[in-house]
Structure 1
Amino acid sequence: RDVKPENIMLQDGHAFMADFGIGKAVSGTESEMFTKSGATLGTPAYMSPEQAAGESLDGRSDLYSLGCVLYEMLTGEQPFTGPTVQAVIAKRFVQTPADVTALREGVPHAVARAVHRALARTPIDRFETGASFLAALRETDAPADAKPPAPEKSIAVLPFANMSADPENEFFADGITEEILNALAHSTDLRVAGRTSSFSFKGKQLNLRAIGEQLGVRTALEGSVRRAGNRVRITAQLVDCVDGYQLWSERYDREIEDVFAVQDEIATAIAERLKTTLMAGRSARREQRAPENIAAWEAYLKGRTLIYRRGAAVREGMALMRRALELDPEYALAWAGLADAYSVQGYFGVLPPEECGPPAREAAKKALALGPDLAEAHTAVAMASLIFEWDWAQAERSFTRALELNPGYVQAGGWYSIFYLGMACGRWEEANDLALRIQNLDPLSAYSAVVIAWTMGLEGKRMSEAVQWARKACDLEPASFLELWSLQRTLYFDGQFTESIEAGEQALRVSGRHPWALSQLAVTYVDAGDVASARAIFREMEARAMREYTGPLPRAIAAAAVGEHQTAIDLVRESVARRDPELALFPPQQQTAHALRALPETQEIYAALKYPSDASSHA
């Protein structure tokens, strides 16, 4: 049928299809109609991919066309547009339409999800029947709830502007912003927007009302930093995001060595103005955070920024952490940063475990000895204990303590949610609750969206929501491997194999063909019936392992998927022998490893690792 707005008639509150497509095809112009030998006639703007390709059709083609109509009704735009008929058709095969809620506020999320599923490229990923499509649209008849007003005690610390002549002082200004944000996060009842969300407005024209709405905060702290020689001028002002009124302001002219005291003064003044209380132990934390040397602090700030970026930048970040420690060997935060860098290199499979495990553990212990009141130090210990020592109890103690010290520390909350509560223990409900709390604090962070996508996707109960969160992460960081790989996995968990393969190919392009994306792609190809492509990937992984370090576990997952069972068993044994961090992060209950965990020998190996007792009961 030619489903489009012109062919839908309304009478007495009922909609009827009047299919005039064939009649129009006789006289329609090429811009109005699209025909192909053996293809069904139709209108390009509402035509399904299989209809455009001239393939056999069933009712799911009509549901696709209806999805196009509903998309246009809700957003005022067609899902695919272009200068020519061919361009419109081509986009159906390579692009995904923008999310309905991104184009039109107030659309219920259930409705947006239903329309998105109706527009899936392959019929198997759509609704089976019109009745099931209707049921999905009726999941909620109410409009999406308006955002509740931001709590009075809530704040975003926006990046302070660098007013110095030297652009290198940008890191210095950012560091002051981060330290004030960190100090305010140690509050009993103040909601502080996370670093990633606050820094997403860096260098942009500020509209405080819009910022307040996006971050869910009532107030914003903004300021500037001017550094000249050994002197620094810091200005700060607290503004109400709703009415734009200035609530407080101050200017500080100090020696550069006094910058840490100024940060504390600003945090204290803000806390007093908002009638909140900073947690006890503030002076001890300040002493443990502040290095003896300003140059060490600057090296730490640059290094931490690079480590946040992941990928090749981590090595440069590690070098800067070492530079900070050369300048101040007792600098707790630099030891924690170095430990995190080694942990990142380990769990991404960049370095062999024996090269990153011992230095990560040593740096984490040093950080804790020098900074027992720092959330960063406890988080470093938690990660090293989890991925290098498989000491589950110590990992939980350290994560818990880190979040007690700083409830708003997104890094600790995200790692604890995914790696311990979820993957190690299978406590998915707790993991998802924590992930949602973290995202509420840092709503513009791609990482926090990834955490939710993982917890929902691996739990397997809310797959459509998991996919939406994974897509949101990619919208926030479109060229990031972690976000694309998370989308690849989440689509696979949801059974959307074609789209998972497409996301996997993108992840390979931005990462230099990372083994995680390769192994997931091999599994997806097998489950989609393309064993030949899966075998080609497995051969690629094995050839690569002959040239450079490639983690044994992703290779084991690919080997099991293509039926190379003995190779898979041998690789798992190698992973255990080397204390491979990836083994801690990919326990047997996760879906990607289903072929691997089906082997009796690997079940015995996994049992010997003694995951937390309830992990094996979750699939």
Structure 2
Amino acid sequence: MHAEPGQTFLHYRLIEKIGEGGMGAVWKATDTNLDREVAIKILASDVEENPARLSMFETEAKAVAALSHPNIVTIHSIEEAAGLRFITMELVRGTTLNEVIPSNGLPLKRFYRLAIPISDAISAAHERGVIHGDLKPNNLILGENDTIKILDFGLARFKQPTSAKDPSELTTAPLGLEGRFAGTMAYMSPEQIEGKPVDHRSDIFTLGILFYEMATGQLPFRGESFAELLASILKDAPAPLTVLKGDLPRHLDRVIRRCLEKAPSRRVQTALDLRNEFQLLQRETDPCGIESSPSVAVLPFADLSPEKDQEYFCDGIAEEIINALMRIENLQVASRTSSFRFKRTEMSSRELGDRLGVRNLLEGSVRKAGDKIRISVELVNAADGYQRWAEHYDRELRDIFAIQDEIAQRTVEALEVTLSPKERRAIRQVATTNVQAYDYYLRGRDFFFQYRTRGIEFALQMFSKAIELDPSYALAYAGIADCCSYLYMNVERIDANRMQADAASRKALALDPELAEAHTARGVSLSLDGRHDAAEQSFETAIRLNPKLFDAHYFYARDCYTNGSTEKAIRLYEQASALRPDDYQSLLLVGQIYADLGHEENSRAARLRGVNAAEERLDLNPDDVRALYLGANGLVALGQTDKGLAWAKRAMEIEPNEPMLLYNLACIYSLAGKRDTAVNCLETAIAGGFAHRPWLEKDSNLDALRDDARFQAMIEKIA
């Protein structure tokens, strides 16, 4: 029977045809019983005569009717009249997304406003066992205030997973020839093209194509013909979004391109994860990805010395300037870890500013020869590279402290930040006046940041030499305390290390009671003895003296975790992450605590951010062992076990005998269900000196081993 305007089916009067596809025509109609306008999809006659396509039609109705989400079209009923089958549904007014995407992509603010509800709606569908199968801009309608509705589940596959909260259990049969090419080719996943079984990750790939187009105005895969387009989807890697549109955040580029991985196991794993990523990006940046308050990153200074052997000294100068600027409340300063990630990388000032989330960059170079030093420095606007201030200093080496002080003050003046008297005194504070002691201290810091046993041991020697030259050097005593605490926790749990950490932290405080780093070192030392109340007081004092000191928040959080104060640990880890957004360890640890408390959504979000931060670090330094093994833990916890184990293997190849690494490998293998390998790694770690019993007893990563007699025996052997 042929449908025409004015025709009535049951109590629905057709008004006009508003769309047509392979499954049938969509009409605007009036529901005369309820006096409202609805949309009616009338099944095409050739579809009704085909049992497979008829089943697909009924599947759409059942699938979508099971959903209740503000961004998914509402199905009212499935009916039959006058020999025709039809679905009645909500009439959605507006324009298709295809009509509003400009040639250069949507503004970032609007992108997030649309991408977040789209991801949330598809997540809701996946949780109910529904895979859309035909996402594309023409199936998304924008109404008033950019309210978006997803239409046309005509290729939907419907299978209720055993757990409504676990879309990973959602799998369907191959689409078959009819379904394989019923969708729009440019938005198909590789598994759809190849006729393989699909799961919810097929929609993730299609969302990647959709979001790529929304962000850049271009499709990631192209071809002059049907065959070329399908080959491109199967084989080509899409161009980075930042190549097509330079002002997009790099992290957004990474998230979208992860959706476009050919192998489903390498993609973002759920639409919920995708929504969470977009929400975090939206909150952390303004439309340009830049903090609105005055902000600066101090980049590592270049070593122009004749022998090229002063890198530690150049890094130290930059770090001292960072520390001085961080004492200013109304100035946002990128952390040392954030800025130093980009050492020896070639990036424009705009790209560096975008990656670091700052408006200004302080760059410099150092030429040191004998007792002479030349320092050149400039402050530039990150957006256009325009120089805001520059200076050259040709001085005696003994003037280094005055130079650092002047650079900090001139930077503040150029950024038009008003200092309080307390802040002015703080940035002029000098830890030592002995240049050689300062040199040894900088060498020690350089070794310490390697976070390896030999690096810590060398750092201890350097700090000790600094104290020999300047017995009043409080920061060097704090450095000794940090080294000994690290060795006691992770390498050799002997009284000598614990007692030296205790004595050095006491001495640092006696020399400078207002030094936040000394109070942090004292807090860590006290926690070694289980004196948590006293440790808490030290950490609280450190944070009061320097609210931007990452280590104070981070180690305070670790102490809270081991003594059972999990809610406080979460708060402190979140604060640490806010101070240093690229620190993968604090993100991954807070993700673990959320999982321990059963907050799965928060856990996945934190772990995803942690893994992404580790990946960004590895892009710049592929041999960063710490990023490899901590990132591996996050990957396995997120279900990306193969990739996580590959990272773990790579870390082991680089640093096979490091106790801290071996302990973390034990955690990774325990999470991956490889109990024997995990126990073997743990035994080797403990034999090598790792003996942090409070952490062993608390760490949920090791829960799978707790009923193993070998594990219990290891715990009992540790004092």
Per the normalisation by structure 2, the TM-score is 0.60
Q: Does 1:475 align with 2:618?
A: no
Amino acid at match of 1:226: R
Q: Does 1:275 align with 2:422?
A: no
The residue that corresponds to 1:603 in the other structure is none
- Shift of residue 289, structure 1, vs aligned partner: 1.0
- Compare CA radii of gyration and give the structure with the larger one: 2
- Shift of residue 536, structure 1, vs aligned partner: 5.0
Deviates more, 1:558-567 or 1:252-261: 558-567
- Tell me which of 65, 84, 106 is aligned to 2:202: 65
The residue that corresponds to 1:403 in the other structure is 543
Q: Is the 8 A contact 1:187 1:276 kept in 2?
A: no
- Tell me which of 295, 311, 322 is aligned to 2:464: 322
- Tell me which of 480, 486, 491 is aligned to 1:338: 480
Q: Does 1:362 align with 2:503?
A: yes
Change (3 A) 1:102 1:490: farther
- Tell me which of 305, 330, 351 is aligned to 2:446: 305
Q: Is the 8 A contact 2:696 2:715 kept in 1?
A: no
Amino acid at match of 1:426: S
Q: Is the 8 A contact 1:336 1:380 kept in 2?
A: yes
Q: Does 1:487 align with 2:631?
A: yes
- Shift of residue 572, structure 1, vs aligned partner: 3.6
The residue that corresponds to 2:679 in the other structure is 538
Output the CA distance in 2 between the equivalents of 1:439 and 1:134. 22
Q: Is the 8 A contact 1:197 1:215 kept in 2?
A: yes
- Shift of residue 512, structure 1, vs aligned partner: 2.0
Q: Is the 8 A contact 1:374 1:405 kept in 2?
A: yes
Q: Is the 8 A contact 1:238 1:248 kept in 2?
A: yes
Output the CA distance in 2 between the equivalents of 1:236 and 1:222. 6
The residue that corresponds to 2:565 in the other structure is 426
Amino acid at match of 2:321: I
The residue that corresponds to 1:394 in the other structure is 534
Q: Is the 8 A contact 1:559 1:567 kept in 2?
A: no
Output the CA distance in 1 between the equivalents of 2:273 and 2:385. 45
Amino acid at match of 1:406: N
- Tell me which of 179, 194, 210 is aligned to 2:320: 179
Change (3 A) 1:216 1:361: same
Output the CA distance in 1 between the equivalents of 2:649 and 2:542. 37
Q: Which runs of 5+ in 2 are unaligned?
A: 1-51, 53-130, 141-150, 157-173, 181-187, 213-218, 222-229
Q: Over residues 321-355 of structure 1, what are the superposed CA-to-partner deviations in whole Å (9 max), with x where a residue is unaligned? A: 222223333322222112112222233x2112424
Q: Is the 8 A contact 1:361 1:381 kept in 2?
A: yes
Partner-residue secondary structure (3-state), 1:329? coil
Change (3 A) 1:543 1:162: closer
- Shift of residue 304, structure 1, vs aligned partner: 0.6
The residue that corresponds to 2:357 in the other structure is 216
Amino acid at match of 1:64: R
Output the CA distance in 2 between the equivalents of 1:327 and 1:543. 39
- Shift of residue 539, structure 1, vs aligned partner: 4.9
Q: Is the 8 A contact 1:4 1:46 kept in 2?
A: no
Q: Over residues 99-122 of structure 1, what are the superposed CA-to-partner deviations in whole Å (9 max), with x where a residue is unaligned? A: 99999958989x969959997639
Change (3 A) 1:290 1:136: closer
- Shift of residue 138, structure 1, vs aligned partner: 11
Alignment of 1:232-247 (within 5 A): 232-247=373-388
After superposition, the CA RMSD in angstroms is: 4.9
Q: Which runs of 5+ in 1 are unaligned?
A: 26-42, 79-84, 128-132, 527-532, 579-619
The residue that corresponds to 1:82 in the other structure is none
Q: Is the 8 A contact 1:153 1:189 kept in 2?
A: yes
Alignment of 1:254-269 (within 5 A): 254-269=395-410
Name the % identity.
28
Alignment of 1:370-389 (within 5 A): 370-386=511-527, 388-389=528-529
- Shift of residue 562, structure 1, vs aligned partner: 4.8
Amino acid at match of 2:531: D
Amino acid at match of 2:190: A
Q: Over residues 404-426 of structure 1, what are the superposed CA-to-partner deviations in whole Å (9 max), with x where a residue is unaligned? A: 3333222223222x313444343
Q: Does 1:512 align with 2:656?
A: yes
Amino acid at match of 1:393: D
Change (3 A) 1:448 1:272: farther
- Tell me which of 144, 150, 155 is aligned to 2:296: 155
Change (3 A) 1:116 1:289: farther
Change (3 A) 1:499 1:220: closer
Deviates more, 1:392-401 or 1:503-512: 503-512
Change (3 A) 1:464 1:234: same
Q: Is the 8 A contact 1:375 1:402 kept in 2?
A: yes
Partner-residue secondary structure (3-state), 1:167? coil
Change (3 A) 1:45 1:217: same
The residue that corresponds to 1:413 in the other structure is 553
Deviates more, 1:405-414 or 1:186-195: 405-414
Output the CA distance in 2 between the equivalents of 1:135 and 1:185. 33
**Higher relative contact order, chain-length normalized (CA < 8 Å, sep 6+):** 1
Alignment of 1:30-41 (within 5 A): none
Output the CA distance in 1 between the equivalents of 2:446 and 2:662. 25
Aligned length: 523
Q: Does 1:248 align with 2:385?
A: no
- Shift of residue 470, structure 1, vs aligned partner: 2.3
Change (3 A) 1:455 1:24: closer
Change (3 A) 1:203 1:315: same
- Shift of residue 504, structure 1, vs aligned partner: 4.5
Q: Is the 8 A contact 1:515 1:555 kept in 2?
A: no
Q: Is the 8 A contact 1:192 1:408 kept in 2?
A: no
Q: Does 1:442 align with 2:573?
A: no
Amino acid at match of 1:519: A
Amino acid at match of 1:350: V
Output the CA distance in 2 between the equivalents of 1:540 and 1:267. 47
Q: Is the 8 A contact 1:453 1:469 kept in 2?
A: no
Change (3 A) 1:488 1:136: closer
- Shift of residue 465, structure 1, vs aligned partner: 0.8
Q: Is the 8 A contact 2:238 2:257 kept in 1?
A: no
Q: Does 1:46 align with 2:191?
A: yes
Change (3 A) 1:535 1:238: closer
Amino acid at match of 2:606: A
Q: Is the 8 A contact 2:666 2:681 kept in 1?
A: no
- Shift of residue 255, structure 1, vs aligned partner: 2.1
Change (3 A) 1:211 1:275: same
The residue that corresponds to 1:14 in the other structure is 152
Q: Is the 8 A contact 1:338 1:363 kept in 2?
A: yes
Change (3 A) 1:465 1:283: same
Q: Is the 8 A contact 1:335 1:364 kept in 2?
A: yes
Output the CA distance in 2 between the equivalents of 1:135 and 1:183. 38
Q: Does 1:207 align with 2:363?
A: no
Amino acid at match of 1:66: D
- Shift of residue 260, structure 1, vs aligned partner: 0.6
Change (3 A) 1:435 1:500: same
Change (3 A) 1:280 1:242: same
Question: Per residue, is there more strand in 1 or in 2?
Answer: 2
Partner-residue secondary structure (3-state), 1:168? coil
Q: Over residues 540-574 of structure 1, what are the superposed CA-to-partner deviations in whole Å (9 max), with x where a residue is unaligned? A: 644775x6434374887899745656655554444
Partner-residue secondary structure (3-state), 2:377? strand
